[in-house]
Structure 1
Amino acid sequence: MSNPFLAPSTLPYQLPPFGMIQDDHYLPAFETGFAEHLAEIDTIVSAQEPADFENTIVALERAGETLRRVALVFYNSSSSHSTPAIQELETEVAPRYAAHQDNIFLNRGLFERVNTVSTDGLDAEAARLVQEYVDRFIRAGAQLDDAAQDRLRALNTELSQLSTDFQQRLLKDTNRSALLVDTAEELAGLSADDIGSAAAAAESAGHPGKYLLTLILPTAQPALETLTNRTTRQRLHEASVNRGFTDNGYGTLTIAARMAELRAERAALLGFDSHAAAATDDQTAPSLDAIHRMLGQLAPAAVRNAREEMVELEAAAGHPIEAWDWAYYSEKVRAAKFDVDLASLRQYFELERVLEDGIFFAANRLYGLTFTERDDLEGYHPEVRVWEVKDADGTGLGLFLGDYYTRDTKNGGAWMNSFVEQSALNGTHAVVINNLNIPKPPAGEPTLLTFDQVVTTFHEFGHALHGLFSSVTYPTFSGTSVPRDFVEYPSQVNEMWILWPEVVANYAKHYQTGEPLPAETVDKLLAAQTWGEGFATTEYLGAALLDLAWHAIPAGATIEDPVEFEREALATAGLDFSPVPPRYRTGYFKHIFAGGYSAAYYAYIWSEVLDADTVEWFKSSGGLTRENGDHFRTELLSRGNSIDPLQAFRNFRGRDAMIEPLLTRRGLV
């Protein structure tokens, strides 16, 4: 039992024993997990008794515990601490894991038993679970003939390999593309803290005396808002948008094109016209056509607003606006129109206060939660922190982990993962983590956040709450295991508390003097919220429609020139507006080529319809109160996928969502 994955953890809430886990534990644990899981499946299939809920569906829910333990830890490591050893392991494990999933869901004997389980006498959650398994087997290809299944297995294996390759190449190219400058003068406009962080990053990368601006995953880089040197801005922007595009051993374009082609072939095998049609078949959106109609209606208004914004930017700049100028002059115009200088606000957004006095404070007021940092519990990296979360009555709810700083071994972006999923069947509480990419300040200096980073921190914690509040019986339905176009909804709602008067007054305090952010500044921030929405909506829709274009190609299509394909896709969507490139270009679109969002990046704005309507409900119902929080938690956050998500919304809201609050929020009325 020296391998810590081979038995449940004895730590609180079954937190993985990270201090005991070594790289050489992963592969043996995966191999044991694969073998155990297949043996459990064989037992289910070979049972002499007729299939019923307990001996088939519940047995499936209980099966594969060792594999689940190691996979949850390993795939977090492959994103947040992807050392060369982890990358080598992932290259080997990923295709084997994909093949193992096929061994389960292409098992005809298992499907026959699942398909004969009666739902008579079952409660609603159990009956939903039976149907979920039937649908999952069918979508996986359980009804295909032998030849089609063989081809499907080959496609899934190759796609897994390509996805891993895309992720690893992108990480290397993002690190390689970080902008190195020789002098602090080239970084004029950045705060002293930012320049210190750039000096520390350069020192760490082996360039003492220089300055390194590391890249975050999206196109827009935070430093572009304040850099006064236009040449530096251009260099930083071009470093961002060219990731993955050059054939330097890190290129990702051919991988992306090949993945799109293989996904199209797989969709055809499963009876769909495209991968987009297959991927959206089990989402809350009623159809792929409905998604296109919504995005197509928003795009012209978004570009119109962006062009109107550009007129103001060019007036402020006195010259034509290029993509690397937009953020800089947008902040100039924001300051002039609304008397809001976002860069100057960083001194009020210190990470500890944002967490303890902002995010945790709001969760306490809404839900009665308390958070106690557990220095006795260890994360997978020295920078990872652990908090125990307790409910209003003092009972333990789970653990929340935070990994906030960027490093060379961490993928760009921000995300939430689970280490342990809540399940009454298994008697487990949730253990979840938020990963962000905040530049680490020099030793002894405070971590001051941009306003966008504050938004991201609140957003990701909304995902964490979704996991922590899960109160379901079966692990399949736990927490954030909901349709992709619903999963962003609770996290978007949590952003509303950033500027809520009681919350912002509690956390937004000057890191040196303790003076609160002036109330009039908060009012100005609220008044300025629609400024820049033309840009924000256009860049988002550019990425969402680019994603759908890649995944609309038919089986047999070959993409010879990915760059031209991207250009044509944006032109067809009416989003070929060079000053506002898409939030993600193909070369670094990790969400869709190395994540779970292929043909689903539309989900952010689709779920924002629910979010904007929910924000209106909170405002009209009294805001930050326990009664409101408990209603949202009980009817929606706790339900996972145990009921239809849109029915959960109706139970919470009392009706279907209305789109008007979203249109108003984004200036699209």
Structure 2
Amino acid sequence: MEDFLNASDLPYGLPDFGSITLDSLVPAFRTAVVDHAAEIEAIAANPAEPTWENTMEALESAGQMLHRVCAIVFNYAGTLADGEVQAVEAAVSPELAAHMSRMLLNEQLWRRVQSMPEQPEGSEEAALLEHWRKRFVRGGANLSGEQRDKLANIDARLAELCTGFGTSLQRATQANAVLLAEEETAGLDAATIQRLAADAAAAGHPEGTYLVHLGLPSVQPILAELENPAARRKVYEGSLHRSDGVNDATILDIARLRAQRAELLGYANHAEFVVEDETAGSVSAVEGLLNQLTPAAVANALGEHKRLVDKAAEDGGSPSAAGNDADAVGAADWSFWDAKLRAEELSVDETKIRQYFQLDRVLVDGAFYAAKRLYGIDVAPREDLAGYHEDVRVWEVREADGRPIGLLLTDMFARPTKRGGAWMSSFQEQSHLLGTLPVVVNVMNIAKPAPAADGSPGVALLSMDEVKTVFHEFGHALHGLLSDVRYPSLSGTNVPRDFVEFPSQINENWALEPEVLRNYARHVDTGEELPADYAAAVAKQAQWGQGFATTEYLAACWVDMAWHTLSAEEAAAIDDVAAFEERALERAGAGVDKLIAPRYRSAYFNHIFSSGLGYSAGYWSYLWAEVLDADGFQTFVDTGAAHGAEAAMEGRVRAVADADPEDVRFAGERFRRMILSRGASIDYEDAFWMFRGKQRSVQPLLERRGLAGAIAPGVVDGPEHD
């Protein structure tokens, strides 16, 4: 208990992980709930006239112990989720949901918030008041007594179900890892074979077998390397069917309860409830974007498939299944033949290119270096501080003049107790009111390399996708670290889902900028720079296969929206998860004749059914944010292009690379000041317009995705500004 009653004495308030015991978490949580409830009651029952300080700032200051405990519980639930941690999460989640419902249904407290006068337009105070008003209304503050009880029960049950979904999925994913025989590993490099053999041995399998742990997406990266068609089918089918039937009842219950909750609050469906709080504003706007992109993406994907079939025929590839010529490249084979064609046309050898992408260099000499170029900040290791696992590293972030900014933890390697994917979360948020500096964590699932022959740690070599993910997640970290606001509710990444991905996707662009690439892409053995022809191939690779990538992503968006645009009556009538999903894809035109599965099928769609990520009715937000990213990055391009017509004519890469460092820093500081530092204190449309200098346009996204010319411009263009 003593670990949570007060803030940690460690630098920046870093939790003292070594002193935290699992059996202390639930008791500490329950004490924190009682403590927070008392604080809320004191605010609500305060006999003094409501003021900004005794109501709004008191609300923002309350619950610090609860925040400390929950930050630990939910971080552990994502990264250290053995049976004991899962039991802690299962106990905490419904109780937390019930506690928060009680707070938002407190009539006295709601009356005090309602009594607050309007605050100056554009101020943090105005943003905070709007935040709390919306939070109360969306939490049921305007409901009647009986409706309030029903809502509280739904919230608690949903918390329980979503926690159960995540736990069951993690167990099923781990239990259904795919075991390969030696002859099925053809095509894999020696390091990968060594790692798979070690994983098989660790799981108790006999020598001569190789264990492929599954990541969350449908298509597993290893499919691009396996030469044996039967092995590819084995891995692909294992991925698609890892949790068949395991969570079906849970999915149906979640969909039904979310629909009931939405209708109780006056919305047609859960999607309408969610999208109201996003920058997109309406379900019709979201579906309009998806409808406009889907036909063109599918057409591009089918064109790509035709070329893969031709490549397979040319190379004498054996069919994936009995059938016509197209079956030579079935869904399980797409990645393999795509890699073959990409290697041929772009002269790119993935195995050789990986030799230039060492994890430590990508992180330190890539992501951290780009941040110093843009924002003048320094990131240095703090070897004296420990994380929550031996693989976690702690970094201190400071301004160029040495002023402290915060701490970054990096947890990069996969392990059986970690849920799949990559994410950023906070142990502590920046707040001038509380006097706190941010402590954030980046989590990934990179395969941990086997130790070297001399017993020293192996070197992790990354794929290009993993390189971009490092930059993406560090973009989220920067959003949290560079926050500069008074109120914790408005801090860092506490922004709408379709805006939170904007800074992270902007940061991905720096992975391929020549100045940054030259600094980190060095050969693991020789230290030589990435050769010019490899660098050109990597740049072209970013545009490769966008038909497939866009289609699998859009298919997942349609699955998400199908579940969450159901009315309560419609949701009650669904009894077959797989059949419902199939019908939804057919209606959207995203089925693609079974050649492309959604990036996540319902049974393993952690983003929308687990409590960990909270993207229900919002998986589309990555695409919406990419509109902002693809257009917004042009501001940095324009900075470089301003140095002359030659740079402007040669395009994005040359323009940014040729920019004067001071001008790049100037553009970075504008992005920091207008976007990163402001958290949720801004009008998002206005902030983007001020940074970009004009309304957003969808055209850069279409060009990036290879859809330019297929869709009329202006599909999601922003409003005019004076």
TM-score range, shorter chain: over 0.9
Amino acid at match of 1:69: R
Q: Given that residues 52 and 118 in structure 1 are in contact (C-alpha distance below 8 angstroms), is that contact kept between their aligned partners in structure 2?
A: no
Q: Deviations over 1:556-595 (max 9, x none)?
A: 3321111100000000000011111110000100000013
- Shift in Å at residue 353 of structure 1? 0.9
Look up the match of 1:505: 518
Look up the match of 1:426: 434
Look up the match of 2:284: 289
Q: Deviations over 1:114-172 (max 9, x none)?
A: 01111356971112211211111001110000111111111111111100110000000
Quick one: distance in 2 between partners of 1:369 and 1:110? Answer: 41
Quick one: distance in 2 between partners of 1:121 and 1:269? Answer: 33
Look up the match of 1:631: 670
Distance change >3 Å, CA 122–CA 526, structure 1 → 2: closer
Amino acid at match of 1:132: H
Name the SS for the 1:476 alignment partner.
helix
Look up the match of 2:687: 648
Look up the match of 2:635: 617
Q: Deviations over 1:236-292 (max 9, x none)?
A: 11111112214xxxx012211210111000000000000000011111003110110
Look up the match of 2:370: 362
Q: Given that residues 244 and 253 in structure 1 are in contact (C-alpha distance below 8 angstroms), is that contact kept between their aligned partners in structure 2?
A: no
Amino acid at match of 1:202: A
Amino acid at match of 2:487: Y
- Shift in Å at residue 91 of structure 1? 1.1
1:608 to 604, 626, 640: 626
Amino acid at match of 1:195: I
Look up the match of 1:131: 130
Amino acid at match of 1:611: D
Q: Deviations over 1:396-443 (max 9, x none)?
A: 110010001111100000100100100010111111001100111111
Look up the match of 1:515: 528
Name the SS for the 2:383 alignment partner.
coil
Q: Given that residues 188 and 225 in structure 2 are in contact (C-alpha distance below 8 angstroms), is that contact kept between their aligned partners in structure 1?
A: yes
Look up the match of 2:707: 668
Look up the match of 2:178: 179
Aligned alpha-carbon RMSD (Å): 1.2
Q: Please show how residues 326-345 of structure 1 align to structure 2 within 5 Å.
A: 326-345=334-353
Quick one: distance in 2 between partners of 1:477 and 1:116? Answer: 21
Look up the match of 2:274: 279
Q: Given that residues 3 and 25 in structure 1 are in contact (C-alpha distance below 8 angstroms), is that contact kept between their aligned partners in structure 2?
A: no
Quick one: distance in 2 between partners of 1:467 and 1:365? Answer: 18
Q: Please show how residues 528-547 of structure 1 align to structure 2 within 5 Å.
A: 528-547=541-560
Quick one: distance in 2 between partners of 1:411 and 1:161? Answer: 18
Quick one: distance in 2 between partners of 1:568 and 1:120? Answer: 49
Look up the match of 1:190: 188
Amino acid at match of 1:203: A
Amino acid at match of 1:570: L
* Structure 1 unaligned regions, length at least 5: none
Quick one: distance in 1 between partners of 2:563 and 2:242? Answer: 18
Q: Does 1:406 align with 2:414?
A: yes
Distance change >3 Å, CA 16–CA 390, structure 1 → 2: same
Q: Deviations over 1:603-629 (max 9, x none)?
A: 000000000012222112123621111
2:254 to 259, 267, 270: 259
Quick one: distance in 1 between partners of 2:285 and 2:83? Answer: 43
Quick one: distance in 2 between partners of 1:122 and 1:635? Answer: 16
Name the SS for the 1:324 alignment partner.
coil
Look up the match of 1:442: 450
Quick one: distance in 1 between partners of 2:294 and 2:100? Answer: 38
Name the SS for the 1:443 alignment partner.
coil
Q: Please show how residues 50-129 of structure 1 align to structure 2 within 5 Å.
A: 50-120=49-119, 124-129=123-128
Quick one: distance in 1 between partners of 2:233 and 2:42? Answer: 61
Q: Please show how residues 180-579 of structure 1 align to structure 2 within 5 Å.
A: 180-183=179-182, 185-209=183-207, 210-246=209-245, 251-318=246-313, 319-320=325-326, 321-444=329-452, 445-557=458-570, 558=572, 559-577=574-592, 578-579=594-595
Distance change >3 Å, CA 366–CA 120, structure 1 → 2: closer
- Shift in Å at residue 655 of structure 1? 2.1
Q: Deviations over 1:23-42 (max 9, x none)?
A: 01211211111011111111
Q: Deviations over 1:648-667 (max 9, x none)?
A: 21221122211100000001
- Shift in Å at residue 632 of structure 1? 0.8
Amino acid at match of 2:255: A
Look up the match of 1:5: 4
Q: Does 1:657 align with 2:657?
A: no
Name the SS for the 1:366 alignment partner.
helix
Amino acid at match of 1:380: Y
Quick one: distance in 2 between partners of 1:586 and 1:597? Answer: 13
Quick one: distance in 1 between partners of 2:684 and 2:431? Answer: 18
Quick one: distance in 1 between partners of 2:499 and 2:243? Answer: 30
Q: Please show how residues 29-44 of structure 1 align to structure 2 within 5 Å.
A: 29-44=28-43
Amino acid at match of 2:576: D
- Shift in Å at residue 193 of structure 1? 1.2
Bigger shift: 303-312 or 499-508? 499-508
Name the SS for the 2:352 alignment partner.
helix
Amino acid at match of 1:470: S
Quick one: distance in 2 between partners of 1:344 and 1:619? Answer: 30
Quick one: distance in 2 between partners of 1:365 and 1:349? Answer: 20
Quick one: distance in 1 between partners of 2:68 and 2:118? Answer: 30
- Shift in Å at residue 366 of structure 1? 1.2
Distance change >3 Å, CA 121–CA 258, structure 1 → 2: closer
Amino acid at match of 2:695: D
Q: Does 1:26 align with 2:29?
A: no
Quick one: distance in 1 between partners of 2:57 and 2:239? Answer: 48
TM (norm. structure 1) is 0.98
Quick one: distance in 2 between partners of 1:347 and 1:337? Answer: 20
Q: Given that residues 635 and 667 in structure 2 are in contact (C-alpha distance below 8 angstroms), is that contact kept between their aligned partners in structure 1?
A: no
Amino acid at match of 1:243: R
Quick one: distance in 1 between partners of 2:158 and 2:532? Answer: 52
Quick one: distance in 2 between partners of 1:259 and 1:121? Answer: 40
- Shift in Å at residue 528 of structure 1? 3.5
Amino acid at match of 1:39: A
Look up the match of 2:714: none
Look up the match of 2:715: none
Q: Deviations over 1:181-215 (max 9, x none)?
A: 232x3111111111111111112212252211111
- Shift in Å at residue 341 of structure 1? 2.6
Q: Deviations over 1:445-487 (max 9, x none)?
A: 2111111111111111110010000001100001000001111
Q: Given that residues 639 and 648 in structure 1 are in contact (C-alpha distance below 8 angstroms), is that contact kept between their aligned partners in structure 2?
A: no
The number of residue pairs the alignment matches comes to: 663
Instruction: Flag as ranges the 4+ runs of structure 1 deviating above 4 A.
Output: 120-123
* Structure 2 unaligned regions, length at least 5: 314-324, 453-457, 641-655, 709-722
Name the SS for the 2:18 alignment partner.
coil
